[in-house]
Structure 1
């Protein structure tokens, strides 16, 4: 700030501590009375702010450093003590405002980071990601030029994905600086380039100041983001930190885009592998299904046989199936799925359920006896999965993760098809909802996710431990659904953590739905600090931090809207 601006800033602080109704007024008056003096406080604009004025009063400057922002006028020399007290309070007022501005700046920075994360997560092509990263960076960091560069190993050169700012010689300059840029990308660090180094390089003579940050994913650097200014403007360490944060988030989005493109290329092979599994499973109708129709043998069923029943529908899905199967040929994929199903199928049957359909990387199971048996089976499946993964670890194979979602309700089970081809079929909104809940288990990072219908259907709920995750509006449903996370399927370490923080999590949820977002963010941050793998706590931390800066109406109920499956 300039000297004139500083003076006005200090004067404003002086006026704040002397404003009407402030406790400092009565404190000054009491001290003056005990000292036996009359006094007045005058600003540097020569306006009397408090007290009285007499031409014979002694004057004591009110200052900070070499800047005088007012005077204290007193009837005798003891006024100096009162002046010192005023200066201390003004200094404290300035410190309080400085802290407040820093906190506000941090909230704005957090809000920007979360908003950017949400926007960039919707992009799946490299160019759109690069353009968005530069656009967001230029909006919060004062810059006239920007470059988004990617290193292409096959070409052994650095290429531009996006740019802004006038630079007619841009392509030539990138070629000239290619060796330097590759060196900086390999180094993988952020930096502000001093102006004297810029002047030494003709390819950068259109800029006065530069800073850059790497596009880093784990131990690999994909490229770099460069911002520059054509005036004598020095970038700050805080701005470099922001650019580094944006670059790291962007690098993650780029990696996702790469995997997406790779997934498209491998989709045909994976689809063939899954189709082969489907073709085998579709040849059979579960015996339990036949019995539910009141028949003893498959030969007794007829086209059009049906029955309406209340059941619990469970969808189980192998997480990160692509990672596990990408190096496997179709036959190995088939063997892997069979080895998984051989372990899970018996658990389903043991608890009174049956697998209605195998889905390649998972299955759908029905439990006619309700949620108690379905949830018990889900917990046992996770226990069996731990044994399965221990055996895989011995063979140096990827661990398998399992996500489960369930819903309880009525459905119609029957036989459909034609006279040449019969098939078992179920028709129900319950099935669609259960499938949506399984998909949401990925969003919340939960091993087992169930609805309030399922929880209310439990005959012995004390057998399990739950965390309430709030209402959600799923695609295709008019009314929101309350979700619960059963934590008994988690790893031993994560379960121990969640049990220890159950009350804290519940308090955070109460604060969130009472719109106390700042308090909720603090509460969830306490949980995340203890265990960074607590995905649900991390999700509500992000939601709370985002909602701090959002306006909410009286009708806000905290319903999460999830449009995808």
Structure 2
């Protein structure tokens, strides 16, 4: 707010000086105290202060003065500056003068001379407070008007249609794009039961009017937030398919007062899908042409900067973590798809899994159908973090796959850590990257064991030993497996950090009993192991690993 002032007007210098000192003492810290000895001078001071950007909040004027009288002065001020609070301070004003000031100047208060200091200061304080409240309200109203203007400007400029309906269904606002899509000249006065017919709203690819009760805007007036793409607007010259989103608008009491709809023409989407399909084919052809492509991390491992430096047969020994991830029952699932759907399905899945690997410092060595083989250099935590993130991402993705034709995806992930050989294999015209060794073989076997134990994520004790923060993960020992060609057994651990809180907590609570059961099993105490597994299931009926031990009659992989 601008600098504020109080203007005093009196033709008696001593009175003016006394009044100025009194107000300066009480209000001088926050307000400029200005004084004029005549009405003419007061008007000049007002004009000068306005030019300097100083607002006069209160004018206190005497009545009997040479030239312009007090009531006349206050009337003139009111015409030019209606927001200023006017106070008459005089001992000689007649009833007519005061009445004139009240009627023509909206006089705030009349104070007699000689004045009482307390009454004067209280009156001025109240007047200043009233002025400040009025200015604040004015600013708030101006801001509201500006916000409404900007909102309207924004809505009118939007490339999608926006409409607002009241609780009866009546259309009370439509932006320019909405009027174009609906071909509206004026807003029709239609109620809920008339909306479909008024706007010619049809169900997609039919000649049936959309049921009014099922219209998104009507459902939002009942409290729902709706998104759909099964609506068409039928015009004589064309049919416009729409994507529609609606949401309720509630008043300050929480009651629904309106609903807003946003909708857009999606007839161009088919063309965009065709273009995207063409781009996918071109990308696939490009990948075929660049079939000698090598991951950047692979180049770094072989100390090369460019793919042109890679030679067939190059290899290096590295300690790495290898991750295998495979979609369960993919063959059965793919048999129910067209090749194109299978291609889209697997790429949609891989596209969501890849970031978890890349963001955790790994790289994908190869895709083997629906299987991912990824490598991680450094601590094993990166591989385990990637696997946990993959499973969490998959859980979020599965929330969108609730329709019968979009069944949830289940995967198994196995991780092993150790020395392996990283290098290139192939012929003169085609080379590929690969990793070989017992570390890789065991990682692959762990992924296969996820199917047997009916759990998504298994790691070896080699990986556990290489974890920098093993206590960070919720895990438990579930088995010992014999590696083909090796005399020693490998400890297998289930990581369930990705599971929802309740399921994870249940496994943590039964972990001592479960691991005791596994130990008893491998020590040959079968009956004791069975009893402990049953105890686990009593406390956690969804423990699939415990179920596996019992259902397979203890013919587990040993």
- What TM-score range do you get, normalising by the shorter chain? 0.3 to 0.5
User: How high is the TM-score relative to the length of structure 1?
Assistant: 0.45
The answer to which structure has the higher helix fraction is: 1
Please tell me whether Structure 1 or Structure 2 has the larger radius of gyration of its CA atoms: 2
